[in-house]
Structure 1
Amino acid sequence: KVYSWGNNRLRQTKLPPDVAKMTNVKQVVAGLQISLIVTEDNKVKIWGNENSFDFRGNSEYQGKIEKIAAASDTLFGLTTQGEIVYLGRQTGYISKSAPTEGNFIDIAASAKSFAGITEDGGVYTWGNRTHRGEGIIPEEILGKPVKITSGRYHYNLLMEDGSVQAFGDNSLNQVKVPSSVTSGVKDVFSGYYQNYAIKDDGKVVTWGHKGYLMGTDEFGRDLWTRLMNGGQMTLTIGAVAVLISTVIGVIVGGVSGYFGGTIDMVLQRISEMISSLPFLPFAMILNALIGNAMNPNQRIYLMMIILGLLSWPNLQRLVRAQVLSVREQEFVVAAKSVGVKEGQIVFRHIIPNVISVIIVTTTLSFAGSMLTESSLSFLGFGVKPPIPTWGNMLHGANNSIIIQAYWWRWVFPSIALSLTVIAVNLIGDGLRDAIDPRSQDR
């Protein structure tokens, strides 16, 4: 008899009247939005979202099916004669990919592929075998398999000698078989990313995915992985923006401070014009004008450039002030007297003498650039998902339900951003104390 529970949005747990009355069911398969059974008279029945699943109920193999294996959108059957048969309607590559030779004793299915074992110990795979490497059968499989089970992207083999061997995707340690199941196993079962072995003494040994360190987001994505990738993206945007602003600020400040006069006046007025632009409103207006004309990668480059182009005025003022105080010193006069070109005097003699101020200011600006990028992404005007940044991770957690019930989705990105900004500011303060000759501690 069959019992069903869980999400019934597509009626996958609503038993058809004839199935509810059955007492001769020998196999149950809970698939993606569908449910299937095999009865003792070797017939297959299905219910749920049948429109998304390729199954032909009036197949000529009805009454001959010993076992079925269902992937995400179709299925194969193992007949009582040991043959692999396709039970779908379509006649594409998948339907013709199954092996036609050998007396099969068991079959299984991952999300995209299928596998089976024969009476003489052969292991075969078919379907979309390149999705996550499920089709790569390792050569070191030893012994004769008597049962095969499957997860989402991996397979387990129970061998005749009581050992377990596995192959397929190992991103979550699904196929990292522990040494305790190299013998004495009488049965094995597999979930999406987990495996369970029953030993002769009744003990259960498990391996595979043991959960997520920081939980998942609304799409089931690992928050730790997204936090690391988001941090990389936030740091990269901040670093490139600071690099652009530093180059512009050093050039403008050096030229303005050294030459003075009309050049200085023009450059300072341009700097004041740039400083007068309100950054966040400017970025929002630009985002509205661009709309969806740019893909996510192009938006990242645009973010770097905008941050860099609007962040240089403060640095150029500091560089200009330092250059004004240095340009009349003896080494500059000596360079002029021997005929050194003015460009070389500025960038090879004066700028190296004010490099301490540039390093300190650049380090402190790095933290500001990260906060600015995170602010824009939090407001929805920065980097767009699915590319993660700490800002847009917080944007996905900006309602009261998530704040109260799913705290890990905003607490961990907030902590990461706060600690990083504090650390960068401390580094900047330390550099200032160490290399700034005007430090109070000197």
Structure 2
Amino acid sequence: MPIRVYVGLLSGKSASLLTDPESQVELLRRQAQAELETHLSHLVLSGGEVLWPSSTLENAGVTDGAELVGIVRPAALANGDTALAFLAEDGRVVAWGDPRGGGDFWSVREHLHSCQQIQASYGAFAAIRDDGRVITWGNPDTGADSSGVQDQLYDIFQLAATCEAFAALRLDGTVVAWGSFEDGGDCDVLRDQLHDVRCISAADFAFAAVCRDGSVVTWGNELFGGDSSAVQHRLRKVRCIQCTARAFAAILEDGSVVTWGSEEEGGDSRAVQDQLWQVRAIQATSVSFAAIREDGRVVTWGDEKFG
């Protein structure tokens, strides 16, 4: 049975929408965006909780008569190694810089409208449009050539990028990857594991996907985070993941932390493991991590010279 949901903006403008409780949050976002004629990044419950795009409205706790807040998507900038791309508030994208590194976008310019997210590898860019399709351009060797997976690039709501590869998350929880195989551009062998994925994180050479059950799937360069087999038994009930250039750190639901990847750049936290409890959040430089605990204390590890 359809339900009526109200989506309002901080400006006071609002929309009344009729939808199905089994419909996904992302579809409601698109519906609200069209009705409000404003590009939205997220929908938020009145209590402040951000709704996850792939969740159904029912699972997200959205009931008949619910009042949600639409967060207006700000302009965004993505930087490759030698070029930049700008996503304007109206959804248009422009790029400039080294033509070979993504600065030349003229061949796809007519498709770069109504975009909601952009991501950059070292030499290529990828943009998600509001219809869930993905547009790529730049150096084919660093992920600009998505022709081999273009038929799979639909209903996309998140992009992540390593130096030379991209990964896209679909509303059905599956993942599509392309670009350099060595840097994560191929995840076909993990297809049976990459389902019900909640989000994807990317270091420079590897990807890590967190599934709805809290497990983690990794792929890419095995030395720099693509191989998590040594800690896989501990990667349960993962809340979120942060990364340096070549290592990952996962916060579990109990506040403990699991790390893997390059030991010199944060992948080895054994020296501070007894201090990594009740961790609230983690931030990273390219070579080190800093974790803040519930008691306000900060724990650091990685390259001693840089953090």
Write the distance in 2 (CA, Å) between the matches of 1:202 and 1:42. Answer: 40
Structure 2 residue 161 is the aligned partner of structure 1 residue 70: yes
Query: AA paired with 1:55?
Result: D
Q: How far, CA to CA, are the matches of 1:172 and 1:87 in structure 2?
A: 26
Alpha carbons of structure 1 residues 163 and 61: separation in structure 2 relative to 1, 3 Å: same
1:59 deviates by 1.0
- Aligned equivalents of 1:126, 1:173: Cα separation in 2: 18
Offset, 1:169: 1.5
The answer to whether structure 1 residue 149 and structure 2 residue 247 are counterparts is no
CA distance in 2, matches of 1:45, 1:15: 14
**Contact kept in structure 2, 1:10 and 1:48, CA below 8 Å:** no
After the TM superposition, which of the residue ranges 96-105 and 176-185 deviates more from structure 2?
176-185
> Which residue is equivalent to 1:163?
256
Residue 188 of structure 1: which of 274, 277, 282 is its match?
A: 282
Matched, 1:10 2:98: yes
Q: How many residues align?
A: 209
* Equivalent in the alignment of 2:46: none
1:305-337 C-alpha deviation (Å, 9 max, x unpaired): xxxxxxxxxxxxxxxxxxxxxxxxxxxxxxxxx
Counterpart of 1:169 in structure 2: which amino acid? S
Q: Deviation at 1:88?
A: 5.0
The answer as to whether partners of 2:264 and 2:287 remain within 8 angstroms in 1 is: no
Match of 1:86 among 173, 177, 191: 177
Q: Residues 215-238 of structure 1: CA distance to partner in whole angstroms, max 9, x if unpaired?
A: xxxxxxxxxxxxxxxxxxxxxxxx
Match of 2:124 in 1: 34
The percentage of counterpart residues that share the same residue type is 21
Aligned residue identity for 1:10: D
Q: Distance in 2 between matches of 1:41 and 1:204?
A: 42
With structure 2 as the length reference, what TM-score do the two structures score? 0.52
Letter in 1 for 2:76: V
Partner residue, 1:134: 227
The change in CA–CA distance for 1:42 and 1:71 in structure 2 (over 3 A counts) is same
Q: Secondary structure at the match of 1:108?
A: strand
Return the alpha-carbon distance in structure 2 between the equivalents of residues 48 and 202 of structure 1. Answer: 44
More helix by share: 1
Matched residue SS, 1:171: helix
**TM-score normalised to structure 1 length:** 0.38
Match of 2:303 in 1: 209
For residues 269-348 of structure 1, what are the structure 2 equivalents within 5 Å? Answer: none
Residue in 2 that maps onto 1:124: 217
Cα distance in 2, alignment partners of residues 54 and 137 from structure 1: 33
Q: C-alpha separation between the residues in 2 aligned to 1:133 and 1:84?
A: 16
Which is greater in Rg? 1
CA distance in 2, matches of 1:44, 1:197: 34
SS at match of 1:60: helix
Q: Could you list the runs of 5+ residues in structure 2 that have no partner in the other structure?
A: 1-74, 84-96
Q: Distance in 1 between matches of 2:275 and 2:104?
A: 40
CA distance in structure 2 between the partners assigned to 1:119 and 1:198 by the alignment: 24
SS at match of 2:198: strand
Q: CA deviation at 1:183?
A: 1.1
Give yes or no for contact 1:105–1:117 (8 Å, CA) kept in 2: yes
Residue type at the aligned position of 1:119: R
Q: Aligned partners of 2:245, 2:232: CA distance in 1, in Å?
A: 22
Contact 1:145 1:159 in 2 (8 A): yes
Deviation at 1:83, TM superposition (A): 0.9
Contact 1:151 1:194 in 2 (8 A): yes
CA contact (8 A) 2:124 2:139 kept: yes
Residue of structure 1 in register with 2:143 after alignment: 53
CA offsets 1:172-195 (integer angstroms, 9 cap, x no match): 34432745542141x434443233
Q: Which amino acid aligns with 1:145?
A: V
Kindly state the Cα deviation for residue 145 of structure 1 after the two structures are TM-superposed. 0.4
Whole-angstrom distance in 2 between the partners of 1:73 and 1:195:
23
The AA in structure 1 aligned to 2:302 is G
Partners of 1:86 and 1:107 in 2: CA distance: 11
> Does the Cα contact within 8 Å between 1:69 and 1:76 map onto a contact in 2?
yes
Q: Secondary structure at the match of 1:97?
A: helix
Tell me, in whole angstroms, the C-alpha distance in 2 between the residues paired with 1:29 and 1:204. 30
Residue 133 to residue 23, structure 1, CA distance change in 2 (3 Å) = closer
Report the AA paired with residue 98 of structure 1. Answer: L
CA distance in 1, matches of 2:233, 2:180: 37
How far off is 1:7 after superposition? 3.9
Cα shift at 1:55: 3.3
The one-letter code sitting in structure 1 at the alignment partner of 2:164 is: D
Deviation at 1:33, TM superposition (A): 2.4
AA aligned opposite 2:282: V
Q: By how many angstroms is 1:156 displaced? A: 1.6
Task: Give the deviation of 1:123 after TM superposition.
Answer: 2.1
How much is the aligned-residue C-alpha RMSD, in angstroms?
4.1
Whole-Å separation in 2 of the counterparts to 1:96 and 1:174: 25
Q: Distance in 1 between matches of 2:180 and 2:245?
A: 23
Shift, 1:160, TM fit: 1.8
